[in-house]
Structure 1
Amino acid sequence: MAQQHPNCDGVVVVMVPLPAQGHLNPLLHLTRVISSRGLPVHYIGLTTHIRQAKDRVHGWDPSNNSNIHFHEFNIPQIVHTTPPVNSHVSTCKYPSHLLPTFTAANTHLREPLGVLLRHLSTTNRRVVVVHDSMMSFAAHEASFLSNVEAFSFIVTSAFAVLHFVWEGYGKLADEGNNIDN
């Protein structure tokens, strides 16, 4: 483990990922990098999803790092619905079957996160919250405490964002001409 910088005494990091595989893993890997610098990191989420992320990670065992603390929370059972076959939703490539899980996480993780932040803020000089951009409630919870600050982590690449903007707002013009596909 790397030596902790003296200015990092009393600093702790809290990770709040969206409960989807493509969002859990990047924040878990960032957790590893931050913890390797000697900072304690608290990774919170739904029990099932934290276990999945820990099982799917390759090349290291998250349970063997004493600077990483997992906070697993159970929530009420989620009722998943299947969209009608002929609906507009069925033509969309977005995995809409995951929306109830995202909604439940946003609803049921708010209170435990608030409790954790209040506890950490009384025992640490500075608390840094790194949350998935789709878990913005974490920034709201952080805003109530003077020594807690939040940063949004966007797991989508800049190229993917450009693609969504390109498709959503229409093709960009190049000297008055539309750019062909």
Structure 2
Amino acid sequence: YYSPDKKLVDDAVKYAQSKDVLLIHAAGNESKNNDVELSFPSRELASGEIASNWIQVGASGYKKGRNIIGSFSNYGKKKVDLFAPGVDVYATIPGSKYESLSGTSMASPSTAGVAAIIRGYFPELKAEEVRTLLMKTVVPYSRKVNVPGQRKPKFFRKKKTKAVKKKVSEICISGGFVNVNNAVIELLKKK
């Protein structure tokens, strides 16, 4: 992915940073490694600066085990910060209805909700501090998980293949899943 108007987007990211806004971005749903394949928009600005008010979120599911990461979710040890609920999320849809939806665009609002709770109860925290807190207080996951996109569905396989497995700490920066309880407990320890 690329943007023909990267400067405009970079300016918007810098403006948000100057106004203490935390930007929470969906990592993408192509089962790709964002460390290897370019993804837009990005916390890396054309100037070489890194936006400190940016969280990139991958999608996790509700079932523990090797399939806890959404099979569609993008990932990346250097670019995806954490994972959040994004598989089979019961969400509102137009027409005053509900539907089960999956995607990193479900995981991002989950993370935004956690950040909103934190900033609501602890308004003195800056966006960058909330980002650091969320990264520090993830629920780590030590078991190996299936890496999204590394194994074709059965009907596409010509021969039996094994899924590529890695620790969550090898496919995202924090090595875990966003957790509002851990974040609040961490803040209350400091009071």
Whether the TM-score (by the shorter chain) exceeds 0.5 is no
Greater C-alpha radius of gyration: 1
TM-score between the two structures when normalised by the length of structure 1: 0.32
Higher fraction of helix: 1
TM-score between the two structures when normalised by the length of structure 2: 0.31
